[in-house]
Amino acid sequence: MKSLEDLKKLREQAQDRMTMRMDEEQKYRVVVGMATCGIAAGARPVLNALVEEVAKTKAPAVVLQTGCIGMCTLEPIVEVFDKNNEKTTYVLVDALKAKEIVEKHILKDEVIDEYTVGKYKK
């Protein structure tokens, strides 16, 4: 290491690998229902897609998993919490929709109405 610039470069690289441990709170909390019903309905690829997309786009979100959210027929369910703990619930999510949620909701703060539980019709 020859200069302060080198240190900065190394720091940025290293930070990418430990974003989940950084002190500052992220803007959004993305929670995936991962109970048996969720996993059976395909929550795992959704979770993986979310994690990958957040990492790739450096979106301001932390991706967590939780147990059964309660509406097993609508799984996979993804909930997005903002800083005020206001919740948006997306239902019947797949990997493609998950990517879209990151692109629109997390990065541009646009709620995707048509995927939310409110818009769901039998």
Partner 1 sequence: MERIQVLVCAGTGCTIGNSGELIEAFEAEIKSLGLDKEISVLRTGCLGLCGVGPNIAIYPDNIIYKTVQVADVKEIVMEHFYKGRPVHRLMLNESDQDTNEVHDINKTQFYAKQKRIALHNCGVIDPENIEEYIAKDGYTALGKVITEMTSQEVVDIMKASGLRGRGGGGFLTGLKWQFALNETSEQKYVICNADEGDPGAFMDRSILEGNPHSVIEAMAIAGYAIQANYGYIYIRAEYPIAVERLENAIKQAKELGLLGDNIFGTDFSFDLEIRLGAGAFVCGEETALIQSIEGERGMPRPKPPFPAHKGVWGKPTIINNVETYANISQIILNGADWFKSIGTETSSGTKVFALGGKITNTGLVEVPMGTTLREIIYEIGGGCPNHKRFKAVQTGGPSGGCLTESQLDTPIGFDELVKLGSMMGSGGMIVLDEDNCMVDVARFYMDFIVDESCGKCSPCRIGTKRMLELLELICNGEGTMETLDELEVLAATIKDTALCGLGQTAPNPVLSTLEQFKEEYIAHIVDKKCPAGVCKALLSYVIDEDKCRKCGLCARKCPTNAISGELGKVPYVIDQEKCIKCGSCVTACPFHVVERK
Residue 119 carries which side chain, given as an amino acid letter? K
* Shortest separation between residue 72's beta carbon and partner 1, angstroms: 14
**Among the listed residues 41, 59, 63, 101, the single contact to partner 1 using CB under 8 A:** 63
- 67 near partner 1, rule: CB under 8 A: yes
Q: Cis ω on the peptide bond leading into residue 60 (within 30° of 0)?
A: no
Site string for partner 1, 32-51 (x = CB under 8 A): xxxxx-xx-------xx--x
Which CB atom, from 10 or from 96, has the smaller least distance to partner 1? 10
Is the separation of the CB atoms in 76 and 46 below 8 Å?
yes
DSSP state of 69: -
Please answer whether residues 65 and 31 qualify as being in contact, where contact means their C-beta atoms are separated by less than 8 angstroms: yes
Count of Cβ atoms closer than 10 Å to residue 8 Cβ? 10
Binding-residue total with partner 1 (CB under 8 A): 32
* Residue 33 tokens, joined: 């229902």
Pick between residue 36 and residue 73 the one whose CB is nearest to partner 1. 36
Residue closer to partner 1 (CB basis): 82 or 110: 82
Under 8 Å between Cβ of 91 and 46: no
**In terms of CB distance, is 6 or 114 closer to partner 1?**
6
Please state, in angstroms and rounded to a whole number, the distance separating the CA atoms of residues 47 and 10. 29
Summarize as ranges the residues that interact with partner 1 (CB under 8 A): 1-4, 7, 10-11, 13-15, 17-18, 20-21, 32-36, 38-39, 47-48, 51-52, 55, 62-67
